[in-house]
Amino acid sequence: MSFNTLAEQSRLIQAIRDDRGGQVFLLILLAVGIVVPILNLAVADGSVMHLSGYTVTLLGKYLCYALLAVAVDLVWGYCGILSLGHAAFFALGGYAMGMYLMRQIGSRGVYGDPVLPDFMVFLNWKELPWFWYGFNMFWFAMLMMLIVPAVLAWLFGWFAFRSRVTGVYLSIITQALTYALMLAFFRNDMGFGGNNGFTDFKDLLGFDLHHATTRMVLFLCTVFMLGLAYVTCRYIVASRAGRVVQAVRDAESRARFIGYKVESYKVWLFTFSAVLASIAGALYVPQVGIINPSEFAPINSIEVVIWVAIGGRGTLYGAIVGAVLVNYAKTYFTGALPEFWLYALGALFILTTLFLPRGVVGLVTKRKDNTA
């Protein structure tokens, strides 16, 4: 979305001005965007202040998850659509990026085939499937990264919301969606590398993916996209359309009876959210260097919802806090006490639900009681 007209710009400024938590978040994000490159690239390797490439990648990963969490919070926190399938859109974006990266490998693969990715040579395929055409071009791959999840989300939303499927039934169908995609992507004959997925990437737009500068640029792209997504989401939720969406969450039939086509709002919000998730996935894959069907696993989508719940839903920045906190905890636990991670996550979720219904950010923000 572009903010061209004066009215839109002033609306945007107002949307940010009314959002104290968001301001804090954007400032922290800006600081991260400045400090991390300095500590990583300018500070000498041996110094205690030096930030390793590993840490940068880890941070980049957290920020991708944060973007995914923002996407989920937008539909769940603001519209009450509890999507337990958003990891599917994340994975689709990842696959689109992965397809481009696979084509970039070219003849440097193990089998040295100039066109076919290694797994196709291994499967004894003679030519590139039609749906791989064009993915050697970055712009095309990125266009597909936006279009494919958008179309899927739109169709899914259109069928589900037109039929007025809501609540737990909708959540179950979203789980089915991601599970079905996982099963499909596991199949070798789908042409997406089966259970191994894609890995062993070499470069992106000609830049070596293993080079520190490339990785830093990817990290900064993630920072930028997260900031942009945040501001755009904020613009949406602070607009009248955003208020309609929240009205649908609180009293759907009332919204219908005052003349809003509830389905249209849900479909567009869901589609936009899916695109955000997809962008997160596309940024994630070159940084972690692998994409495989396990990204579609139903548990992944559920985890995202847990991040949002722990951070505090319906605030956008809460989702980011939740995603970063939980994933940091995950990194720590899976290193220190791997067998306890899932218990810890479960306990965390239960405790937040019981004692912090407004999430971690609810601890610091004042509850609005009488005034909205």
Q: Are 347 and 354 in contact (CB under 8 A)?
A: no
**CA distances for 151 relative to 15, 65, 109, 267, 341, angstroms:** 29, 22, 32, 11, 36
Residue of 17, 20, 108, 162 that binds another protein (CB under 8 A): 162
Binding flag, residue 2, another protein (CB under 8 A)? no
Structure tokens at 239: 């607009």
Nearest to 65 by CA among 47, 91, 40: 91
Contact residue for another protein among 259, 354, 355, 363 (CB under 8 A)? 259
- Least separation in angstroms between CB 294 and another protein: 35
Q: Check residue 270 for interaction with another protein (CB under 8 A).
A: no
- Phi-psi label, residue 106: left if phi above 0, alpha if psi -120 to 50, beta otherwise: left
Q: In this complex, which beta carbon is closest to another protein, that of residue 63 or of residue 245?
A: 245
**Beta carbon of residue 11, minimum distance to another protein (angstroms, whole number):** 7
- Judged by CB under 8 A, does residue 369 bind another protein? yes
Tell me if 247 contacts another protein by CB under 8 A.
Answer: yes
Minimum distance of another protein from residue 267's CB (angstroms): 9
**Of the residues 107, 253, 335, 338, which one makes contact with another protein according to CB under 8 A:** 253
Nearest distance in Å: CB 275, another protein:
15
Residue whose entry in the numeric block shows the structure tokens 């400032």: 27
Q: Which helix (H) or strand (E) holds 224?
A: helix 212-238
* Residue 47 contacts another protein per CB under 8 A: no
Answer for which of 72, 244, 280, 304 binds another protein (CB under 8 A) is 244
Closest CA to 105 of 74, 136, 130, 82: 136
Residue 199: both structure tokens together: 């890995």
- Which of 236, 285, 304, 319: binder of another protein (CB under 8 A)? 236
268 in contact with another protein (CB under 8 A): yes
Cβ proximity of 361 and 318 under 8 Å? yes
> In this chain, which of 44, 49, 205, 372 binds another protein, going by CB under 8 A?
372
Q: What is the DSSP string of 246-290?
A: HHHHH-HHHHHHTT--HHHHHHHHHHHHHHHHHHHHHHHHHHH-E
Question: Under the rule (CB under 8 A), what is the footprint of another protein?
Answer: 7-8, 11, 162, 236, 239-241, 243-244, 246-247, 250-251, 253-265, 268, 368-372
